[in-house]
């Protein structure tokens, strides 16, 4: 293969602007699938994707296309379309030289369009601006072209118009891919070096990877090494994905291919696969690891299912290398795992797959974000061997006396909204501790607002609230803005003076009283009345911020007695009071497990 006839590209778009439909159409035109084939959206493979209509996993397809009597190899690298999966998008674009940026000609520019445009620019990719759905009667290509000019300074003459559904303009689009996107700039000679864009697990062949080859060539049988590992592996499987596998013997720089090194072969996303010689020269450093934005606990619904859920999580994690898994345990919920996700949707998709594909019944705790703290004190510093530590679980927080500063993760949020909702959206963002950045017009009806927001305020229900206050017309996307210093405290819940581990949370000082009240009220409503009185307290470092009391049942032990025997009556009441005290002293409060599940579940 002549590298000059390779094109590597992605389709990027706001959710629902037609990426999967266009991908299907490209497969059709290049003869991979028959026109009108029943199998809806070939690239959307997972059941979750079909049901939710969103793309979760990036899938690739190598297509042959003849143009001006030359056959080109077009590698379409499919990217997931939701804010949560920005990370996967980033990984995919590193193998591309250009993108088709789809914009719905009816909806116009949305928040995610801005995000993917910026991403493409940052990576110096050629952007082919393309309006989709021009078959719709309400489509307004001229208006959207003006938006593209206004927001991105895109020349209106460079904008293509297509209908992915009807196939209009799609051959012209493929020709633009060949004409406008350069072939990969790679070293065909030299040592073999590839980076891994995606991995999945095959029952018989072990881990299979999607690799983009930066330099050299690779053959079946070649000795290779992972950048993270000193073991020598042998390439056993090499294939083009069309999107079904087509085995090949050799691949060259610029290509995107499937590689497998056998059942014990290993390999993970972000790693590099190197020729043995290059690996041993020590000249290659790794890629930055995936950043987890949201953590949640997962526990088997029933401890007898522990092994089964464990197995299911392990298999899913292999297929979804963006999650991190570590063991966790809770007195109320038993043995489980603490799992790091890219975002809330990622979390939902993961648990849905856990249920659907592995039939595992699991309980999910409320999501939380990771924090960082700067620690002091010789002992702690020695223990951690660093002065800033990452906290993914409130219980890991060191004693406040040993903490010099707290940091919480922030995001840069982009919101595109009709102008009439600017006030409401601004109020929402300020309420969520957001700091506004200058806004800019998209056109005379739409505005782009930007805020630096704490991630903790975004992960809960920001997206839903935004949609509801703008009647669904605003769109939202975010990108990482790093950790900022923040006045944080750990809030604990005491039941009759005893700490309930799994109810501890890290909160912003300004939110403390509100959260304290809300959580204690919620617990009061959920915990059934007991034989003893139950005091629910929200405390920070010994100071009580909210308190609720659940009154005890008053068992009328004297009911059977009639009239005057005062001594006996007093004696019985005394016994009862002592019984209560005894129970209280051991804090033997009977809380149904469901209460924990409900309190910890996302609201
Ligand atoms: P994600 O995978 O979630 O990012 O969505 P997507 O961008 O892949 O969108 P998808 O291809 O699933 O299309 C969304 C909806 O728009 C579907 O109902 C499509 O049938 C419809 N659609 C896509 N392209 C066209 C088009 O050219 N014309 C019309 N009328 N509808 C289209």
Residue 483's pLDDT band (cuts 50, 70, 90): very high
Give the chain's largest Cα–Cα span.
112
What is the pLDDT, as a whole number, of residue 56?
43
Q: How many CB atoms lie within 10 A of CB 533?
A: 16
What is the pLDDT, as a whole number, of residue 478?
83
Residue 453's pLDDT band (cuts 50, 70, 90): very high
Distance from the alpha carbon of residue 165 to the mean position of ligand 1, in angstroms: 8
Ligand 1 atom showing the smallest separation from residue 24 Cα: 11
What is the pLDDT, as a whole number, of residue 595?
63
Q: Which residue has the higher pLDDT, 331 or 565?
A: 331
Residue 593's pLDDT band (cuts 50, 70, 90): low
Q: Which residue has the higher pLDDT, 544 or 206?
A: 544
CB-hemisphere CA count at 13 Å for 313? 25
The predicted model gives 463-487 an average pLDDT of 89
**351: Cβ below 6 Å to ligand 1?**
no
Confidence check: pLDDT of 235 > 90: yes
CB-hemisphere CA count at 13 Å for 71? 5
d(CA 309, CA 334): 13
Taking only the tens place, the pLDDT of each residue in 367-382 is 788 999 999 988 888 8
What is the pLDDT, as a whole number, of residue 180?
97
d(CA 405, CA 372): 9
Q: Which residue has the higher pLDDT, 358 or 23?
A: 23
The predicted model gives 185-211 an average pLDDT of 84
Residue with tokens 């390439």: 235
Closest CA to 271 of 210, 339, 340: 210
**135: Cβ below 6 Å to ligand 1?**
yes
The predicted model gives 126-154 an average pLDDT of 96
d(CA 293, CA 84): 9
Residue 58's pLDDT band (cuts 50, 70, 90): very low
What is the pLDDT, as a whole number, of residue 281?
79
| CB-based contact 274:259 (threshold 8 Å) | no
End-to-end CA gap in the chain? 55
Whole-number mean pLDDT of the chain?
Answer: 83
Residue 39's pLDDT band (cuts 50, 70, 90): very low
Instruction: Label each residue of 258-294 as H, E or C.
Output: EEECCCCCCCCCCCEEEEHHHHHHCCCCCCCCCCCCE
Ligand 1 atom showing the smallest separation from residue 44 Cα: 2
Taking only the tens place, the pLDDT of each residue in 309-333 is 898 888 788 766 678 888 888 766 7
- Total-model pTM: 0.74
Confidence check: pLDDT of 426 > 50: yes
Residue 393's pLDDT band (cuts 50, 70, 90): confident
Confidence check: pLDDT of 422 > 70: yes
Taking only the tens place, the pLDDT of each residue in 517-556 is 988 998 888 777 877 888 999 999 889 999 999 888 766 5
d(CA 565, CA 36): 91
Distance from the alpha carbon of residue 72 to the mean position of ligand 1, in angstroms: 27
Distance of CA 38 to the CA centre of its chain: 31
What is the pLDDT, as a whole number, of residue 584?
26
**10: Cβ below 6 Å to ligand 1?**
no
Residue 454's pLDDT band (cuts 50, 70, 90): very high
The predicted model gives 446-453 an average pLDDT of 96
**167: Cβ below 6 Å to ligand 1?**
no
Taking only the tens place, the pLDDT of each residue in 258-288 is 999 987 776 666 678 898 888 887 766 655 5
**17: Cβ below 6 Å to ligand 1?**
yes
What is the pLDDT, as a whole number, of residue 566?
61
Residue 583's pLDDT band (cuts 50, 70, 90): very low
Instruction: Indicate which residue's Cα is closest to atom 5 of ligand 1.
Output: 16
Distance of CA 426 to the CA centre of its chain: 25
Ligand 1 atom showing the smallest separation from residue 21 Cα: 11
The residue length of the chain stands at: 603
Taking only the tens place, the pLDDT of each residue in 19-34 is 888 988 888 888 766 6
Residue with tokens 């330099």: 215
3-class state of residue 351 by DSSP: helix
Lowest mean pLDDT among 102-116, 323-337, 418-432: 323-337
Confidence check: pLDDT of 61 > 90: no
pLDDT > 90 in the chain, percent? 39
If one residue of 10, 12, 15, 20 were mutated to test the ligand 1 pocket, choosing by the most ligand atoms within 8 A of its CB, it would be: 20
Confidence check: pLDDT of 568 > 70: no
Q: Which residues partner with 201 through β-bridges?
A: 207
Residues 6 or more apart whose CB falls under 8 angstroms from that of 366 comprise 296, 600, 601, 602, 603
What is the pLDDT, as a whole number, of residue 573?
59
If one residue of 10, 13, 16, 112 were mutated to test the ligand 1 pocket, choosing by the most ligand atoms within 8 A of its CB, it would be: 16
The predicted model gives 500-515 an average pLDDT of 88
ipTM, 2 decimals? Answer: 0.97
Q: Which residues partner with 166 through β-bridges?
A: none
If one residue of 76, 161, 164, 169 were mutated to test the ligand 1 pocket, choosing by the most ligand atoms within 8 A of its CB, it would be: 164
d(CA 233, CA 215): 19
Q: What is the dihedral of CA 243, 245, 247, 248, to 10 degrees?
A: 20
Confidence check: pLDDT of 588 > 80: no
């Amino acid at each position: 293969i002549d590298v000059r006839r390779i094109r590597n590209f992605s389709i990027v778009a706001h959710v629902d602007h037609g990426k999967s439909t266009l991908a299907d159409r490209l497969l059709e035109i290049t003869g991979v699938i028959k026109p009108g084939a029943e199998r809806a959206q070939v690239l959307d493979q997972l059941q979750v994707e079909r049901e939710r209509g969103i793309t979760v996993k990036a899938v690739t397809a190598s297509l042959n296309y003849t143009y001006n009597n030359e056959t080109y190899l077009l590698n379409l690298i499919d990217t997931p379309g939701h804010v949560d999966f920005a990370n996967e998008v980033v990984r995919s674009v590193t193998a591309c030289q250009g993108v088709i940026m789809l914009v719905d000609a009816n909806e116009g520019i949305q928040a995610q369009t801005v995000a993917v445009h910026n991403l493409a620019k940052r990576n110096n990719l050629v952007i082919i601006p393309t309006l989709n759905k021009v078959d719709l009667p309400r489509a307004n290509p001229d208006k959207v072209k003006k938006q593209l000019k206004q927001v991105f300074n895109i020349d209106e003459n460079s904008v293509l118009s297509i209908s992915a559904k009807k196939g209009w303009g799609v051959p012209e689009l493929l020709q633009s891919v060949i004409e406008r996107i350069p072939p990969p700039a790679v070293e065909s000679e030299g040592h073999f070096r590839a980076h891994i864009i995606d991995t999945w697990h095959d029952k018989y062949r072990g881990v299979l990877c999607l690799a983009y080859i930066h330099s050299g060539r690779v053959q079946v049988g070649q000795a290779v090494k992972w950048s993270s590992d000193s073991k020598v592996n042998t390439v056993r499987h090499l294939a083009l994905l069309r999107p079904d596998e087509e085995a090949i013997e050799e691949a060259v720089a610029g290509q995107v291919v499937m590689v497998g090194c056998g059942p014990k072969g290993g390999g993970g996303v972000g790693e590099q696969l190197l020729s043995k010689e290059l690996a041993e020269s020590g000249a290659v450093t790794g890629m930055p690891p995936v950043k987890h934005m949201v953590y949640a606990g997962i526990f088997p619904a029933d401890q007898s299912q522990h092994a089964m859920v464990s197995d299911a999580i392990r298999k899913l994690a292999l297929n979804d290398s963006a999650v991190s898994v570590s063991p966790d345990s809770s007195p109320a919920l038993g043995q489980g795992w603490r799992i790091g996700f890219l975002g809330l949707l990622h979390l939902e998709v993961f648990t849905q797959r856990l249920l659907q594909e592995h039939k595992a019944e699991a309980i999910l705790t409320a999501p939380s974000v990771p924090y960082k703290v700067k620690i002091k004190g010789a002992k702690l510093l020695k223990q951690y061997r660093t002065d800033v530590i990452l906290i993914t679980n409130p219980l890991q927080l060191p004693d406040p006396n040993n903490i010099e500063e707290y940091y919480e993760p922030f995001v840069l949020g982009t919101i595109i909204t009709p102008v009439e909702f600017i006030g409401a959206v601004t109020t929402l963002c300020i309420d969520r501790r957001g700091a506004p950045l200058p806004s800019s017009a998209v056109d005379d009806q739409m505005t782009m607002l930007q805020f630096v927001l704490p991630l903790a305020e975004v992960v809960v229900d920001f997206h839903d609230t935004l949609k509801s206050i703008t009647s669904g017309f605003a769109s939202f996307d975010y990108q990482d803005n790093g950790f900022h210093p923040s006045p944080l405290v750990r809030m604990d819940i005491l039941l009759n003076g005893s700490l309930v581990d799994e109810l501890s949370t890290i909160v912003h000082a300004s939110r403390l009283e509100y959260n304290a009240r809300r959580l204690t009220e919620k617990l009061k409503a959920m915990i059934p009345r007991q034989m003893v009185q139950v005091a629910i307290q929200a405390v920070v470092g010994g100071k009580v911020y909210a308190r609720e009391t659940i009154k005890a049942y008053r068992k009328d032990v004297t009911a059977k007695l009639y009239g005057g025997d005062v001594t006996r009556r007093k004696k019985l009441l005394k016994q009862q009071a002592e019984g209560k005290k005894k129970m209280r002293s051991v804090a033997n409060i009977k809380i149904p497990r469901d209460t924990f599940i409900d309190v910890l579940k996302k609201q």
